[in-house]
């Protein structure tokens, strides 16, 4: 993992999980970021295979700590990350500056009001694990279409509606719906002037559910809600290889869906 990404994840984990930075650096030196990001990045690489972002303008919606925005900038894109949490925006901006990734820019704003930001048109938009948090998902897709040039790309990742889930975890994550079916997603995108070019899926055995369940149970043993994140990370070496292996061997829709759509 690149040094700037290790620094970014380590700072975030030290603040949010109250873990020693040396421990997070050691974990990231040996393993990958575990909190669902690895599976999402697998899907992103899959639907964008053969495509280069170099020299293009890309928008990363709900960028969180900013790791994907920095990856896009490192690949040669002029990347803008939007996140509501001003502290995350400040931290990501500082890491980008120290890493010399000056083509990465971060804004504290509402992703549902993109046109008001007057950022111009983009060649591509990443919207990973966002739509399930938005009540008016159709309005958000229309906002995205409005800031994409004709022929521009939307990379969209959502959970599947039929997946197993923990209701308490869904509420804690702020999900307003369990997910989407593939036909439902096609219909939503077409209604907003998009054409689906590629579709992919991961986790056909719903192992993400069991990963989350085990983390919650393990944290419960120690009676520590804040230990859920560290427990989830500790179980990553077991579950990530299983999810990747089952996704290669079983060709059916899994718990995570991704779409590459073209703005018509």
Give the Å distances, CA to CA, from 213 to 43, 97, 112, 206, 230.
23, 38, 32, 11, 14
List pLDDT tens digits, range 120-162: 999 999 999 999 999 999 999 999 999 999 999 999 999 999 8
Q: What is the predicted pLDDT for the residue at 9?
A: 83
Give the separation between CA 141 and CA 196, rounded to whole angstroms: 13
Q: What is the predicted pLDDT for the residue at 84?
A: 94
Kindly compute the dihedral angle of the four CA atoms of residues 151, 81, 206, 163, in this order, to the nearest 10 degrees. -70
Indicate the pTM of the whole model. Answer: 0.93
Domain range for 173: 3-263
Query: Quick one: average pLDDT of 49-73?
Result: 95
15: which 2 tokens? Answer: 């603040």
Q: What is the predicted pLDDT for the residue at 35?
A: 52
Number of domains composing the chain: 1
What CATH number has the domain bearing residue 89? 3.40.50.150
Confidence of residue 65 (pLDDT cuts 50, 70, 90): very high
Q: CB-based contacts of 32: which residues, under 8 Å, 6+ apart?
A: 1, 38, 236, 240
Q: What is the predicted pLDDT for the residue at 38?
A: 85
∠ Cα 180 175 184 (to 5°):
15
Give the Å distances, CA to CA, from 79 to 61, 63, 75, 212, 258.
11, 11, 10, 31, 20
Kindly compute the dihedral angle of the four CA atoms of residues 185, 191, 195, 196, in this order, to the nearest 10 degrees. 0
List pLDDT tens digits, range 213-261: 999 898 877 666 677 878 888 888 889 999 999 999 998 899 999 999 9
Q: Are 202 and 254 in contact (CB under 8 A)?
A: yes
Query: Quick one: average pLDDT of 172-194?
Result: 94
């Amino acid at each position: 993992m690149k040094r700037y990404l290790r620094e970014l994840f380590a700072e975030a984990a030290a603040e949010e999980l109250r873990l020693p930075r040396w421990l997070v650096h050691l974990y990231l030196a040996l393993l990958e970021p575990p909190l669902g990001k690895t599976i999402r990045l697998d899907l992103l690489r899959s639907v964008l295979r053969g495509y280069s972002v170099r020299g293009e303008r890309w928008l990363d919606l709900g960028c969180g700590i900013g790791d994907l925005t920095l990856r896009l900038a490192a690949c040669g894109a002029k990347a803008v990350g939007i996140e509501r949490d001003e502290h995350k925006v400040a931290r990501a901006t500082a890491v980008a500056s120290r890493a010399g990734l000056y083509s990465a820019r971060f804004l504290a704003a509402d992703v549902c009001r993109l046109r008001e930001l007057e950022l111009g048109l983009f060649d591509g938009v990443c919207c990973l694990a966002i739509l399930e948090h938005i009540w008016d998902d159709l309005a958000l897709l229309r906002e995205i279409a409005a800031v994409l040039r004709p022929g521009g790309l939307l990379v969209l990742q959502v959970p599947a509606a039929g997946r197993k889930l923990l209701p308490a975890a869904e509420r804690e994550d702020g999900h307003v719906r369990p997910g989407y079916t593939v036909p439902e997603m096609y219909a939503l995108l077409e209604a907003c002037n998009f054409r689906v070019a590629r579709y992919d899926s991961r986790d056909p055995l719903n192992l993400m559910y069991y990963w989350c369940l085990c983390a919650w149970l393990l944290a419960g043993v120690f009676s520590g809600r804040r230990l859920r994140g560290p427990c989830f990370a500790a179980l990553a070496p077991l579950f990530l290889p299983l999810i990747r292996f089952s996704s290669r061997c079983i060709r059916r829709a899994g718990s995570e869906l991704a779409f590459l759509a073209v703005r018509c």
